[in-house]
Amino acid sequence: MTLEQTTTGSLETYEGLLAAISVADGAPVTDPATDEVIAHAPIATPADLDAAVAAARAAQPAWEALGHARRSEILVGAADAVDRSAAALAELISREQGKPLNGPGSRFEAGGVSAWLRTAAATELSEETLLDEPRATIAYRAVGLVGAIGPWNWPALIAAWQLAPALRMGNAVIMKPSEHTPLSVLAVGAILNQVLPAGVLTVLSGDRDLGVALTGHDAFGKLMFTGSTRTGKAIVAASAANLPRLTLELGGNDPGIVLPDVDAQAIAQDLFWGAFINTGQTCAALKRLYVHDDVYDDVVEALRAVAAQVPMGYGVDESSALGPLTTADQLAIVDRLVEDAKAGGARVVLGGEPDRAAAGNFYPTTLVADIDAHAPLVVEEQFGPALPIVRYSDLDEVIGLANGLDVGLGASVWSADAARAREIAARIQAGTVWINSHGGVHPMVPFGGIKGSGYGLEFGVEGLKAVAVPHVING
């Protein structure tokens, strides 16, 4: 989509945006709150991928040659275009992915797309002098073509996390969104392509087969992937053929450890949103909560009181604070894990009884207490609105439980004593540990996982380096 193909202003309404990105006979995209088809997304073929590669190869050298300052001006212009279309984009995200308009919902997501573009534009990455005598310098150059594949939970925001630094460094980008949320990413592409030179950014929608074609293509010097650990491993295997650099942001199962000195009432809101943001469908959400025996009952009750007040409903309803799950498959996973916990004798404090006959993928806000530390709801990633709350009394033992899984994206420690919390944070195996909050990200603070949660960093200066190739000159 280029400026010539759109009428000025047409991408600023929901209807105009949808008309610009959808086709009559593509893949149906359903609204997860109603099960109704919103629109049909194009299904890109291998020939479409080759055409996008040819356009990207043709456009990239001139884009790189513009230099950082000029590219940054263009990215600021792209962010301005996102801001003009923000209301339409937010509505589309709510209808396609399910999250509410308000709170940490789709308006926040659309704002994040703009914020990440602006930050990437403003971040400096200059040549560094490593040695004066003999002189040695390191600079970072464009890789060339970057391929990016994304998930369905924060489709537009994660697309921006991938494309903003990649474009900033002078690369051309070809993206494949999740087949569950192609429209939000196609919309971001259409909005940005009002401003970007043709060929520099292409969004191709398609399913897993397109992802396999993209990751196996020899055009890409770098692949960025956000999604499940299983798919991440498939991409690592595929990368053996052409050796693209990889950034892998994979699944997580973030622990939160609550120490005995907390004020349960004071932390309950932040604990709740750390776990239930986007109805739990967030890579670095709090997914297993360990609470010390001394404050266990108080924390469970304070969480129940907060959770019971938070309305769940249709994303585009202004009063909703939580939405449906994006896919029926994810609903089935959450349902299975909670049923298993019940069968194992855990105590359901809130929720746990979905209306299986209702339209949409709604699963109620669910708190499961007195659950075995090794129950599937604790050790498997639920990626939904069901939080297991494990009782503990021994700190070393609970750190062992926190570190005991093969993933390590985020974690949190909750305490009135910040110094004590930092000591414990240092012992936790995760890419990020938050203290007295969970899951907040900032475009200048690097973010990435360890173990099965992947490797490579996004955001900040480290994020720019990750979409570049180092170039050392000695002498």
Q: By CB under 6 A, is residue 242 in contact with ligand NAD?
A: no
Q: By CB under 6 A, is residue 255 in contact with ligand NAD?
A: no
Q: 167, 199 in Cβ contact below 8 A?
A: no
Q: Which residues lie across from 292 on neighbouring strands?
A: 392
315/114 Cα distance (integer angstroms):
21
- Per DSSP, 61 falls in state H
Give the SS3 label for residue 94.
Answer: helix
- Closest to ligand NAD by CB, 60 or 181: 181
Give the SS3 label for residue 472.
Answer: strand
46/217 Cα distance (integer angstroms):
10
- Closest to ligand NAD by CB, 51 or 212: 212
Mark 333-372 with x for binding to ligand NAD (rule: CB under 6 A) and - for no binding: ----------------------------------------
Residue type for position 156: A
- Closest to ligand NAD by CB, 140 or 152: 152
Q: By CB under 6 A, is residue 442 in contact with ligand NAD?
A: no
Residue 149: CB minimum distance to ligand NAD, A = 5
Largest CA distance in the chain: 74
- Closest to ligand NAD by CB, 262 or 441: 441
To 10 degrees, what angle do helices 106-122 and 86-97 make? 120
- Closest to ligand NAD by CB, 170 or 324: 324
Query: 403: which 2 tokens?
Result: 């570190």
Among positions 71, 107, 118, 176, the unique one binding ligand NAD when judged by CB under 6 A: 176
Among positions 307, 409, 411, 466, the unique one binding ligand NAD when judged by CB under 6 A: 409
179 catalytic residue (yes or no): no
Nearest alpha-carbon partner for 420 in 436, 440, 403: 436
- Closest to ligand NAD by CB, 226 or 436: 226
Among positions 94, 194, 231, 361, the unique one binding ligand NAD when judged by CB under 6 A: 231
Q: By CB under 6 A, is residue 88 in contact with ligand NAD?
A: no
Mark 116-155 with x for binding to ligand NAD (rule: CB under 6 A) and - for no binding: ---------------------------------xxxxx--
Catalytic residue among 249, 301, 380, 462: 249
Q: 243, 217 in Cβ contact below 8 A?
A: no
Among positions 31, 96, 109, 179, the unique one binding ligand NAD when judged by CB under 6 A: 179
Q: 255, 278 in Cβ contact below 8 A?
A: no
Mark 370-399 with x for binding to ligand NAD (rule: CB under 6 A) and - for no binding: -----------x-x----------------
Nearest alpha-carbon partner for 140 in 155, 126, 159, 156: 126
Q: 248, 456 in Cβ contact below 8 A?
A: yes
Among positions 42, 98, 112, 227, the unique one binding ligand NAD when judged by CB under 6 A: 227
Among positions 66, 234, 310, 450, the unique one binding ligand NAD when judged by CB under 6 A: 234
- Per DSSP, 15 falls in state H
Helix (H) or strand (E) run with residue 37 in it: strand 37-41
Mark 205-224 with x for binding to ligand NAD (rule: CB under 6 A) and - for no binding: --xx--xx--x---------
Mark 282-321 with x for binding to ligand NAD (rule: CB under 6 A) and - for no binding: -x--------------------------------------
Q: 163, 173 in Cβ contact below 8 A?
A: yes
Nearest alpha-carbon partner for 147 in 205, 211, 191, 194: 211
The secondary structure of 199-249 as a DSSP string is: TSEEE----HHHHHHHHH-TT-SEEEEES-HHHHHHHHHHHTTT--EEEEE
Task: Give the catalytic positions in this structure.
Answer: 249
Site residues, ligand NAD (CB under 6 A):
149-153, 158, 176, 178-179, 207-208, 211-212, 215, 226-228, 231, 234-235, 249-252, 283, 381, 383, 409, 449
